[in-house]
Every structure is written in structure tokens, then in C-alpha cells.
Amino acid sequence: MAEELCVRLVPLFNQLSIDLQRQIERLVHHQHVRRGTVVISPDNSNRLVIIEQGQGRLYQLSATGEEQVQRILNTGDYVGETWLLGVTNSNNYVEMMKDSNICVLDHSDFTRLIQAHSDIALKLLAGQALTIDNLRQQTQLMGLPSIESRLAMYLNQLVAKQGSSLVTLPLKMKDLSSYLGTTPETLSRKLTQLQKVGKIDRHLRQIRVKELL
């Protein structure tokens, strides 16, 4: 039976040798956290957090205190590597959406790790490129003038990403509306309108896109 290593869940680490994975595993701290716990904030961001099992959300706060969701973090996802490398976390938070198990790698251990293993540093750069691309996609969405056009582009992106016209919304309505810069009520109304005109079929968080929007 394969060892249950937290670091094996993470693309940053799971292609490394098993001996190196074991070394990294000895550095992490395992924690069980309750739903609603904020595990990263501007005052507490000098660490890498791996979602061993559970779900969280990465968000920012606007000037008026409203949450702007950036990413949903699921089992195997991680966040914090940018801040560990010296970028200041001025307005990012990670809150757990359900009771979860997380693994925490502290700054000093992480720094020694990437200094000693260049392959980890290269994987880290690849992960950062993917994160930047995701933020670029959201920036494109927010640059569109109407919620209709943002929603259409978002659904088209899901079709391309999931490789099927039947897609599953990765975000709850509250978080998706925040991601698209609108309210849950408006988002629900726009989805209903698309269904009425026959462009989509929707059942809860599953949507079949009948034609590209």
C-alpha cells in the first residue's frame, strides 16, 4: 500500500523521488481546521498551505470590505509560495469552506528546500505561470462591460477547460457572482434567461452549453 504523504497531492512535489518526498513530508505540520478558519491573511502569510483534504477560498477585500473571490482551493491545491519568496501579501485571505485537513510548510524550511533542489524551483515557476494565466482570464472577464458577456465568456472557458459541453460550476453561486463582479440574484437571473432561450440546460451546478455563447 502506497504511503499517504501530504506532499504527494501537490504537483509541485509529486514528481520528485520518493526519498525526497519523505524529506519534505517531515518538514510539514499537519493541522485539522474548522470551516470558517482563516489560514492565511496579511498578518499570517509566511508559509505554504496545502489542502490535504477539504476546500478553501482565496479572496481579497475591496475598499468597501466586499469579498472578491480569486480561487477555490480543493484537495491537492496549495497557496502561499509567492509570499514565501518575498512578495508582500497586502490583501489576500484564505478561508476554509468546510472542515479540512491542511499541511503547513514554514518559510525557513521552504527556502532551504528550493535552494537545495533546483527541480522544485522550476516546478514552482511553472505553477506561478498557471496562476498568472488564471488571473489574466479573470482580468479579461472583468474588462467586459456587462454581466451577460462576462458569464458567456466564463461558460465558454469552462467548456474549453473541462473538454465537454456539460460543465460543472467549480464555484458556489455566491462565490461565482463575486468572481464575475455581480450579485447572486443577478447571476441566477441571467442563467435563467439563458435557459429560457435554449442556450443552456442547468441543473444545480451542472450546465450543458448547447451553443457557444
Tens digits of per-residue pLDDT, 3-15? 778 888 776 777 7
Q: Dump pLDDT digits (tens) for 77-114.
A: 888 877 776 778 888 999 999 999 999 988 888 778 77
Q: Dump pLDDT digits (tens) for 38-63.
A: 999 998 878 889 999 999 999 998 87
Quote the pLDDT of residue 130: 67
Q: Dump pLDDT digits (tens) for 125-155.
A: 666 666 667 777 777 777 788 888 889 888 9
Quote the pLDDT of residue 127: 66
Q: Cα–Cα distance between 179 and 183 in angstroms, integer?
A: 10
Quote the pLDDT of residue 85: 67
Q: Convert 107-133 to b/e letters by CB count within 10 Å (16 or more is b).
A: bebbeebbeebeebeebbeebeeebee
Quote the pLDDT of residue 141: 75
Residue 186 in this model has a pLDDT that exceeds 70: yes
Res. 1 pLDDT band, cuts 50 70 90: very low
Give CA angle at 139 (199, 210), nearest 5°: 10
DSSP assignments along 125-136, one per residue: HHHHHHHHHHHH
Q: Which residue has the higher pLDDT, 73 or 124?
A: 73
Q: What is the mean pLDDT of residues 63-83?
A: 84
Quote the pLDDT of residue 19: 85
Enter the pTM of the model. 0.59
